[in-house]
């Protein structure tokens, strides 16, 4: 009987602790401005408690990149196998630009996705978004060319956009040699890479080509002139990408304030968005960049550009590249793949 009583007490206490723990974790989901996915809530609490700060202690850009790469690797799952992956370079405006070409097992003449990684124009690499590019290639049955464009502050604006546009020119010229279709070249990027993808689409229009089949923008930064939107006010602190980070990234990428309103820096400020390629804009519900991304999608629609916009509920900035934490990462890539397959009918 004594053993039974002790066991009963143990079970009661253990059950209480489990329920209390579940209640505590669930309580982290609820914020003043929306409900976080539970994994996002746990990640943000970890960042808060560990006082993680990329720009703390006067880190150099090189040190920031190491910290970012180390932390980011924890958030990624098992890489998707791809039929063929090749690292190479192409001649850019200031020297050779490294690229990584992902070729799925498919027939010739497939779409070619030019991918620009995120990272505030300061961090990120071919490796940081490798999982994402692998999934894109296999799910969309497209060739993916990931571009290792020059980073700030060593190479401030317009270095990144020059490399990005040069990647479009090279891809158009060489698509056939990699079994791609030069008539179906897409630009795609996340965050700062979404900014570059939108800017390349504008630049291609303004320079009369090459034609772009579609632009796909994942939580893009499209207005660096001002950080005063609704989502900046709601999610500017404590939601992974902060307003402070955006200000730091901007200061490194755009040391000249006169450049902040350039349309290839802030596509949302372009006078006209007509004659741009069909677009898909993905945003995260609890993201400092949500308002401007959705405003850009609306402007594209109003300019007559076939545009699809989807907001992913409970998500924070960067979720598409956190496939270990979020099943929504796979859903987003499925949505992108569906969009690409449906393009001829748009």
Q: What is the pLDDT along the chain (346 residues), one digit of tens a residue?
A: 445 655 555 554 555 444 445 555 677 999 989 999 999 999 999 999 998 888 888 889 999 999 899 888 889 999 999 999 999 999 999 999 999 999 998 777 999 999 999 999 999 999 999 999 999 999 999 999 999 999 999 999 999 999 999 999 999 999 999 999 999 999 999 999 999 999 999 999 999 999 999 999 999 999 999 999 999 999 999 999 999 999 999 999 999 999 999 999 999 999 999 999 999 999 999 999 999 999 999 999 999 999 999 999 999 999 999 999 999 999 999 999 999 999 986 6
Does 44 fall in a domain? no
Q: What are phi and psi of 256, to 5 degrees?
A: -95, 115
Question: Annotated catalytic, 117?
Answer: no
Annotated catalytic residue within 163, 259, 262, 287? 287
Does 135 map to a domain? Answer: yes
User: How many angstroms separate the Cα of 323 from the Cα of each of 47, 133, 139, 142?
Assistant: 18, 12, 14, 20
User: In the chain, which ranges are continuous DSSP H helix?
Assistant: 2-27, 38-50, 61-73, 130-140, 159-174, 192-206, 230-235, 243-253, 290-302, 327-342
Q: Which two tokens stand for residue 2?
A: 């004594």
- Give 340's DSSP letter: H
Residue 112: half-sphere exposure toward Cβ, Cα within 13 Å: 29
Q: Are residues 121 and 66 in the same domain?
A: yes
Same domain, 24 and 70: no
Is the same domain home to 257 and 161? yes
Q: Are residues 135 and 190 in the same domain?
A: yes
Q: Are residues 9 and 71 in the same domain?
A: no
Residues 86 and 20 in one domain: no
25 and 69 both lie in a single domain = no
* 173 three-state secondary structure: helix
Q: How far apart are CA 24 and CA 103, in angstroms?
A: 45
In a domain, 47, yes or no: no
Is 264 contained in some domain?
A: yes
Question: Would you call 317 a catalytic residue per the annotation?
Answer: yes
Catalytic residue among 68, 191, 231, 329: 191
- Tell me how many domains the chain contains: 2
Inside any domain, residue 158: yes
55-83 in b/e form (b: 16+ CB < 10 A) is: eeeeeeeeebbebbeeebeebbeeebebe
Task: Looking at the structure, tell me whether residues 282 and 156 fall in a common domain.
Answer: yes
Same domain, residue pair 22 and 147: no
Encode pLDDT of 125-176 as tens digits.
999 999 999 999 999 999 999 999 999 999 999 999 999 999 999 999 999 9
Residues 168 and 254 both lie in one domain:
yes
> Is 316 contained in some domain?
yes
Does 267 map to a domain?
yes
Q: What is the CATH number for 77?
A: 3.40.50.1820
The verdict on 189 and 230 lying in the same domain is yes
Task: Tell me which residue range forms the domain holding 225.
Answer: 61-345
Q: Which of 117, 129, 232, 317 is catalytic?
A: 317
Residue 264, classed as helix, strand or coil, is: coil
d(CA 89, CA 291): 36
CB within 8 A of 8, min separation 6: which ones? none
- Look at residue 339 and tell me if it is in a domain: yes
Active site residue 251: no
Q: In what order do the strands lie in the sheet with 110-116?
A: 84-92, 95-103, 143-147, 110-116, 180-190, 214-218, 279-286, 307-316
158 and 277 assigned to the same domain: yes
Torsion over CA: 255, 228, 55, 150 (sign)? negative
Residue 188: beta bridge partners? 115, 216
């Amino acid at each position: 009987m004594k053993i039974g009583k002790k066991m009963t007490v143990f079970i009661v206490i253990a059950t209480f602790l489990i329920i209390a723990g579940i209640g505590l974790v669930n309580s982290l989901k609820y914020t003043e401005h929306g409900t976080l996915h539970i994994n996002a809530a746990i990640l943000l609490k970890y960042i808060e408690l560990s006082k993680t700060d990329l720009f703390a202690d006067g880190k150099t850009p090189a040190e920031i990149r190491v910290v970012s790469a180390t932390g980011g690797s924890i958030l990624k799952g098992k890489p998707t196998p791809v039929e063929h992956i090749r690292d190479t370079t192409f001649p850019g405006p200031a020297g050779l630009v490294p690229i990584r070409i992902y070729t799925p097992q498919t027939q010739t003449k497939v779409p070619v996705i030019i991918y620009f990684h995120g990272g505030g124009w300061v961090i990120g690499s071919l490796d940081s978004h490798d999982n994402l590019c692998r999934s894109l290639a296999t799910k969309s049955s497209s060739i993916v060319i990931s571009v290792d464009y020059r980073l700030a502050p060593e190479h401030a604006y317009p270095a990144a956009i020059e490399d990005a546009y040069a990647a479009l020119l090279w891809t158009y010229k060489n698509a056939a040699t990699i079994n791609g279709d030069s008539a179906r070249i897409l630009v795609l990027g996340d965050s700062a890479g979404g900014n570059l993808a939108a800017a390349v689409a504008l630049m291609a229009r303004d320079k009369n080509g090459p034609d772009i089949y579609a632009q796909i923008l994942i939580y893009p930064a499209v207005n660096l002139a001002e950080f005063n939107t609704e989502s900046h006010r709601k999610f500017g602190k404590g939601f992974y990408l902060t307003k402070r980070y955006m200000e730091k990234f901007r200061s490194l990428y755009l040391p000249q304030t006169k450049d902040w309103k350039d349309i290839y820096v802030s596509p949302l400020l372009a006078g006209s968005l007509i004659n741009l390629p069909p677009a898909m804009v993905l945003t995260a519900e609890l993201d400092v960049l949500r308002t401007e991304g959705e405003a850009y999608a609306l402007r594209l629609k109003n300019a007559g550009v076939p545009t699809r916009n989807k907001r992913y509920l409970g998500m924070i900035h960067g979720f598409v590249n956190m496939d270990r934490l979020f099943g929504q990462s796979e859903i987003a890539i499925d949505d992108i793949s569906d969009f690409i397959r449906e393009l001829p009918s748009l």
